[in-house]
Amino acid sequence: MVSSITNISNSIDINFPRPGEAISTIEEFQSNFKKIYNSFEILSKESTLLSNLSIDTISTNDFNENFIIRGMLANRSEKFNDLGVISNGIIELNVREGSYHKCLINTGYYTFNTTNWQSENIYNQIRLEITNQSSSTTATCQIGFSGKVTFTNTQTEYVVIEQSKSIFYDIYTIDQGKNLIISLIGSTNIGIDSSAVTSIPGSPPIITAISPTVFSNISGETITISGNYFTTGTVYLGNSTVASPSISPTSIVFRNPGLPAGYLTVRVTTPIGTTSANVLVVDNIDYGAAAGGK
């Protein structure tokens, strides 16, 4: 910033009035004084402008979304916002409170609402660390984000976080938060360690078929349950848990442990819900004779 005071100050007669010399006119005295007055007025305006443009060593600096062009930053640090222990419900993440947000949770439902993003057409990003408060129990949670959200990797709305472990999300936007991109970036272990964080499908399990349609009461028979959203499911035959089933998102395969004859309820239970179907157990393996008993 170049000052314009010099243009006036150069025309000021610093030796006026001269001792022993008569002042020719009052206008001559006033003209010189007016130049001095104008210089102070310009200096006042320039000082105010310079103050508004300066970087102060105070916490209330606000660049008002002005760009820093060709700046080189050394030893950069960003503000950290510790939310502490949060309760179930909607939690506000105020972008102006920091670029890194951390909270402690327990089992429950949590929806994060982001506010005060920068103007549109500006890339914004914050990081969210969610930590299980308990050191003795796992936290089974529904974690959601309000608004129009796109996940850049596996959509993980339902998670199980082990004791004192954390899960991390990066949240991006270029349109002032109207659209959010959520990236699940990892856990406190390297990468997405299933021993620390387990993704759970965001829908309850569904049974579409059971083969065979009628069970025998002879142990060792292979039984297959077909459907959807079985990951992390537990299988029950009546009130007994099936040991060591082979589970994928769309099928469950296990061996018949030997069942008493009669109708039996087969259940698949996940943290999201339970589905069940009735089957008939017979004391022989003549499935054709028993068909229709499901």
pLDDT score, position 2: 63
pLDDT score, position 104: 96
pLDDT score, position 288: 44
- Backbone torsions φ then ψ of 83, nearest 5 degrees: -85, -10
| Whole-number Å distance between alpha carbons of 115 and 207 | 41
Q: Which tokens in the block code for residue 240?
A: 């007994």
Strand duo 166-173 + 179-187: pairing: antiparallel
Which helix (DSSP H) or strand (DSSP E) does residue 74 occupy?
none
| Whole-number Å distance between alpha carbons of 34 and 16 | 13
Write out 136-185 in H/E/C secondary structure: CCCEEEEEEECCEEEECCCCCCEEEECCCCEEEEEEEECCCCCEEEEEEE
pLDDT score, position 20: 65
CATH of domain 206-290: 2.60.40.10
pLDDT score, position 7: 64
In this structure, are residues 79 and 99 in contact, taking their beta carbons and an 8 Å threshold?
yes
Residue 9 DSSP SS3: helix
pLDDT score, position 150: 82
| Whole-number Å distance between alpha carbons of 201 and 250 | 11
What are the pLDDT tens digits along the chain (294 aa)? 566 666 666 666 666 666 666 666 667 667 777 777 777 888 888 787 777 666 666 667 777 777 788 888 888 888 999 999 998 888 999 999 999 999 999 988 888 999 999 888 889 999 999 999 999 988 888 788 888 888 776 655 667 788 888 989 999 999 999 999 988 887 654 334 444 455 544 567 889 999 998 888 888 889 999 988 786 778 999 888 998 889 887 889 999 898 888 888 999 987 777 888 888 888 755 544 444 443
Radius of gyration of the chain (CA): 36
213-222 CB burial, b ≥16 within 10 A, e <16 = ebbbbeeebe
| Whole-number Å distance between alpha carbons of 96 and 160 | 30
pLDDT score, position 74: 86
